[in-house]
Amino acid sequence: MRRWRWAPPLCWAAIILIATSIPNPNLPSPGRTDLLAHVAMYAPLGFLAARAAASPRATALVLVAVACAAFGAVDEWHQQFIPGRFAGVDDWSADTLGAALGVVAFAAAARQRREPVT
């Protein structure tokens, strides 16, 4: 069934929300490592969502990236209410970058599958 292809990105999005909803006053202040963690969490989301969209067309991939960026914005907004969590434009930018990298990775993998290897 086609709707099941959305289960992996929805599960990954739920994992992100659960992870970012855990209060942790011992988290280090935002920095380079924090931004890399954001990229690492959102790259799989971008890849899985692009795969679920099942379209290598640029318009569909851009829409997937925008949707993931919007999810990242909502996640950052909700973190401001969680003790020990930080919300910021830098974090959202890292979320967006990660999602875009995931979408690009999917597009590259889809293209490679279609092209014969010589």
In angstroms, rounded to a whole number, what is the distance separating the alpha carbons of residues 5 and 3? Answer: 5
Q: What is the pLDDT of residue 28?
A: 59
Contact assessment for residue 49 and residue 9, using Cβ atoms and an 8 Å cutoff: yes
The 10s digit of each residue's pLDDT in 15-63 is 999 998 988 766 656 566 778 989 999 999 999 999 999 877 889 999 9
**DSSP characters over 41-95:** HHHHHHHHHHHHHT---HHHHHHHHHHHHHHHHHHHHHHTTSTT----HHHHHHH
Q: Where does residue 54 fall: left (phi above 0), alpha (psi -120 to 50 degrees), or beta otherwise? A: left
Contact assessment for residue 107 and residue 59, using Cβ atoms and an 8 Å cutoff: no
Residue 12 φ/ψ, nearest 5 degrees:
-65, -40
DSSP code at position 3: G
Mean pLDDT throughout 56-73? 93
pTM of the full structure: 0.86
